A and B are shown apart, each in its own frame.
Chain A
């Protein structure tokens, strides 16, 4: 079976506002949605099931009550059942990658999956850590920044997007994968599938039920706006542009 993680950050494109207390970003009343990379993860799991590489897909989300919506989306895309590890509303910003990885390590013990697929990074904290942390905790091989997966005989050949291009590695199952954007094109959940998803089961657990201490290790001291970049002038033509670049020394005069 395969497990996937679905996170619930602010929707891409939503304007981000720093809180007046300078300890975080305003999230109340702001639209959230499934993390884009997690959409790729869910899609890949569904394709693996279609190819009969896995038999069952479990979608997991760790967060407040509303993050169940991402599980419902995953179920509508084709996951079979869900697990919602709930934390009290307002504490979700304290749920850091190491804690999430520990929750997942416990779920791995419970569910015994063959593959766990997460999104490469969450677009709120941009950490890109959970997959690697989880792999280290359970001592499974990791395939991060995956842009292609090929299964054969209890192994996965993974193409990774790396600094200088692409790289191929091979891992034995069970393994932990992080999905990159080009792994696949996530499907839209159709209305009939959304309706069917309402009947699929979502198990609710707390970190305490799993025996995981989720206390944050990193304390946020301050969150501030970045320096604002002012727009400069427009030039009327290429000749003027080249003159300005010459002035600045980027082109030899």
Chain B
């Protein structure tokens, strides 16, 4: 059976877990997570949801979360423990791996058997199939590689968990989250990303405007984030977020391999760049060689006229 490390949303992870066969349980942890537990219980395929709520778990601080997970694991002996391949999952799961003395498997894109998994290496330039001989498989799941389970239709039992948490070594202070009404970057159907060609943060306003007209999320290349145009959680790429929307529009992005790693699984890729030789045009389905400062306002006006 597999336990899923829960953070909201986790529906692609549930899909991956159900491919393993056996029963699937979920765990939600935090200082206020009863609602998350109830929402998780509605996902079909999950039999039971453990709800670990405690002030000590504020911010899902790794040292405390892992203690709770070890407690639950000792009582349930899961064969597979999965988490999303997000910063949360990547932060927690390997620490758990050290405690269990098993090798974690990062960011899987496929399940071949209960011990064989597929993942990418070298920024997606090669695809690796690995087999684990460990008694417990710890896996983080790339969300874009698995169809999300439905959000409704399930009726898992929920069970409150109170573990002894002893952590005097670390403390959560606060989060500074980007607030936005736009769709979540990692799960949006349309993503419009800006690169260094935007030249500054103010110019991203026109991408936000275009995104609002199209119901899209806004992303960015590493160069744009490094230059301070936008916050870091917009970064798409090998070391940022992996996205695979129906439509990805790359504006003023040259198309470095590290950026492609984060978006080349998109259904349709559109590129707008004034350099006809930019590598992005080698992967785009529709390319427009044009000055983005002319093209983007034209797109906004063109859509407005509809």
Residue in B124, B226, B287, B306 whose beta carbon sits within 8 Å of that of A252 in the complex: B306
Residue in B134, B171, B186 whose beta carbon sits within 8 Å of that of A169 in the complex: B171
Measured CB to CB, the closest approach of chain B to A101, in angstroms, equals 7
Measured CB to CB, the closest approach of chain A to B269, in angstroms, equals 8
Residue A134, interface by CB 8 Å: yes
Contact with B along A225-253 (1 / 0, CB 8 A): 11001011111011101101100101111
- Cβ contact within 8 Å between A167 and B306: no
Which single residue of chain A is at the shortest CB-CB distance from B176? A166
Measured CB to CB, the closest approach of chain A to B79, in angstroms, equals 15
Residue A195, interface by CB 8 Å: no
Mostly helix, strand, loop or mixed at chain B's interface? mixed
**C-alpha gap A13/B127 in the complex (Å):** 18
The verdict on A162 contacting B233 (CB below 8 Å), with A221-B130, A234-B289 known, is yes
Residue in A13, A25, A133, A164 whose beta carbon sits within 8 Å of that of B98 in the complex: A133
**C-alpha gap A238/B257 in the complex (Å):** 26
**C-alpha gap A232/B270 in the complex (Å):** 9
Contact with A along B189-212 (1 / 0, CB 8 A): 010000000000000000000000
Which single residue of chain A is at the shortest CB-CB distance from B132? A218
Residue in A221, A223, A234, A238 whose beta carbon sits within 8 Å of that of B299 in the complex: A238
- Cβ contact within 8 Å between B126 and A169: no
- Cβ contact within 8 Å between A238 and B126: no
- Cβ contact within 8 Å between A226 and B126: yes
- Cβ contact within 8 Å between B176 and A217: no
Contact with A along B91-116 (1 / 0, CB 8 A): 11111111101111111000000001
- Cβ contact within 8 Å between A217 and B133: yes
**C-alpha gap A125/B130 in the complex (Å):** 12
**C-alpha gap A124/B123 in the complex (Å):** 7
**C-alpha gap A165/B87 in the complex (Å):** 11
Q: Which residues of B contact A96 (CB under 8 A)?
A: 103
Residue A70, interface by CB 8 Å: no
Measured CB to CB, the closest approach of chain A to B119, in angstroms, equals 8
Residue A98, interface by CB 8 Å: yes
- Cβ contact within 8 Å between B226 and A181: yes
- Cβ contact within 8 Å between A147 and B173: no
- Cβ contact within 8 Å between B122 and A126: yes
Q: Which of B30-38, B43-51, B150-158, B276-284 contacts A (4 or more CB under 8 A)?
A: B276-284
The verdict on A234 contacting B287 (CB below 8 Å), with A129-B94, A217-B134 known, is yes
- Cβ contact within 8 Å between A125 and B121: yes
- Cβ contact within 8 Å between B122 and A238: no
Residue A151, interface by CB 8 Å: no
**Residue of B91, B241, B282, B289 contacting most chain A CB atoms (<10 Å):** B91
- Cβ contact within 8 Å between A223 and B98: no
Residue A212, interface by CB 8 Å: no
- Cβ contact within 8 Å between B214 and A169: no
- Cβ contact within 8 Å between B233 and A98: no
Measured CB to CB, the closest approach of chain A to B151, in angstroms, equals 19
**C-alpha gap A206/B121 in the complex (Å):** 27
Measured CB to CB, the closest approach of chain B to A97, in angstroms, equals 7
Q: Which residues of A contact B175 (CB under 8 A)?
A: 162, 164-168
Residue B183, interface by CB 8 Å: no
Q: 4 tightest CB-CB pairs across the interface, nearest first?
A: A136-B98, A132-B94, A217-B103, A232-B285
A-B contact pairs, 8 of them (CB 8 A): A98-B98, A123-B238, A144-B87, A175-B169, A220-B130, A221-B130, A233-B287, A248-B247
Interface set of A (CB-CB < 8 Å, partner B): 10, 12-13, 16, 18, 25, 37, 96-98, 101, 120-121, 123-137, 140-142, 144-145, 147, 157, 160-172, 175, 180-182, 216-226, 229, 231-235, 237-239, 241-242, 244-245, 248, 250-253
